[in-house]
């Protein structure tokens, strides 16, 4: 089986994955699953009802929900970190977006890579089955990645790969092929609390315990009507807890590999006012192939309006900010109107 492991790892790396680990798929999660149950019982999933759906499917991977008869799960990670020099040329508004979302929607190309690996695994034995998974199925993927030795789960709840950091995207291939599992990596955060201290909304109830309902990512993507107190710099998502992590002080991959994560051309010259001018066809055109579509037109307009409000309140009422506030006062979304009508644009 070691030869099969090596072939799978070689194929995964050839497909562009930066880390590969294997875990038993037929051994259910224990403490990790209990933490998930506590998370749901506490209502921390907020409006993300899909996180509470099919709880038992999340305990193990060899069930009807994932793949009956599964023996192994191949856990994969793809880095998206870019060099500081590369990021320095990002358009100003793109810098208000989480790094993973400035470029192409990663689901489109990452799923192709995971599917390609699953197809390869099926060639490794008679009647071998393999199912690719990538951000759609009811799966506690960070827990499985940690069990597979890809990395460890840090205090901010993200998978940290020693030597590579946490700016990674995850995928899995669950298979009936029996493979020798890797050993988990012990948690290495020690006494460091930089990620917890950096959170702009104090969304961590304790180390390893995030309340998404206070997280910037949730408030700019999932529930844009919520209270955004403390969220003054972000349009879509947040990297604060990762930016300060010592494990992310690593060399980024070569530029060709991170090209999909460079800002799309639509960001050039784009301002807050442009986001508030969008009608539905304009929004769909702007967000083609972009993760920002998930925020919806109203959600993106609300975030843009709050950014304009914060800039004006800080004495940075540029022409773009004033135009955004003026457009917001006549917007078709009532929350956008409420935000901007309560703001001063530096002219009144």
- Catalytic residue annotation: 135
- Cα-based distances in Å from 241 to 285, 293, 310: 31, 24, 21
Q: Measure the CA–CA gap between 73 and 292, rounded to whole angstroms.
A: 30
Three-state secondary structure along 235-256?
CECCCHHHHCCHHHCCCCCCHH
Kind and range of the H or E run holding 218:
none
CA distance 49 to 38: 15
**With contact defined as beta carbons under 8 Å apart, do 12 and 117 qualify?**
yes
Residue 246 CA to residue 244 CA, distance in Å, equals 6
Of the candidates 246, 237, 288, 243, the one whose C-alpha atom is nearest the C-alpha of residue 105 is 288
Q: Report helix angle 334-341 to 297-313, nearest 10.
A: 0
DSSP letters spanning 290-321: SGGGGG-HHHHHHHHHHHHHHHHHTT---HHH
Q: Is 20 helix (H, G, I), strand (E, B) or coil?
A: strand
- Would you say 318 and 272 are in contact if contact means Cβ atoms under 8 Å apart? no
């Amino acid at each position: 089986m070691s030869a099969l492991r090596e072939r799978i790892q070689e194929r995964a790396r050839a497909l562009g994955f930066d880390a590969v680990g294997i875990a038993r798929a037929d051994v259910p999660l224990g403490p990790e699953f209990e933490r998930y149950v506590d998370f749901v019982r506490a209502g921390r999933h907020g409006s993300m009802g899909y996180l509470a759906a099919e709880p038992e499917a999340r305990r193990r991977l060899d069930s009807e929900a994932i793949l009956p008869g599964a023996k192994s799960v191949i856990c994969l990670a793809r880095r998206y970190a870019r060099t500081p020099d590369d990021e320095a040329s990002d358009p100003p508004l793109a810098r208000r977006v989480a790094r993973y979302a400035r470029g192409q929607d990663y689901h489109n190309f990452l799923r192709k890579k995971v599917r390609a690996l699953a197809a390869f695994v099926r060639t490794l034995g008679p009647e071998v089955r393999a199912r690719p998974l990538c951000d759609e199925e009811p799966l506690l993927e960070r827990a499985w990645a940690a069990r597979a030795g890809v990395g460890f789960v840090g205090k901010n709840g993200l998978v940290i790969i020693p030597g590579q950091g946490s700016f990674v995207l995850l995928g899995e291939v669950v298979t009936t092929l029996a493979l020798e599992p890797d050993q988990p990596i012990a948690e290495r955060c020690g006494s460091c609390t930089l990620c917890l201290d950096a959170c702009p909304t104090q969304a961590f109830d304790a180390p390893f315990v995030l309340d998404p309902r206070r997280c910037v990512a949730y408030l700019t993507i999932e529930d844009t009507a919520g209270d955004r107190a403390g969220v003054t710099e972000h349009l879509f998502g947040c990297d604060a807890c990762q930016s300060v992590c010592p494990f992310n002080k690593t060399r980024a991959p070569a530029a060709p590999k991170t090209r999909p994560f460079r800002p799309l051309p639509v960001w050039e010259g784009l301002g807050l006012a442009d986001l508030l001018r969008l009608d539905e066809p304009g929004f769909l055109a702007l967000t083609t192939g972009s993760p920002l579509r998930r925020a919806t037109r109203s959600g993106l307009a609300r975030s843009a309006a709050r950014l304009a409000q914060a800039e004006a309140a800080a004495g940075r009422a540029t022409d773009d900010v004033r135009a955004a506030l003026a457009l917001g006062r006549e917007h078709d979304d009532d929350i956008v109107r409420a935000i901007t009508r309560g703001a001063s644009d530096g002219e009144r």
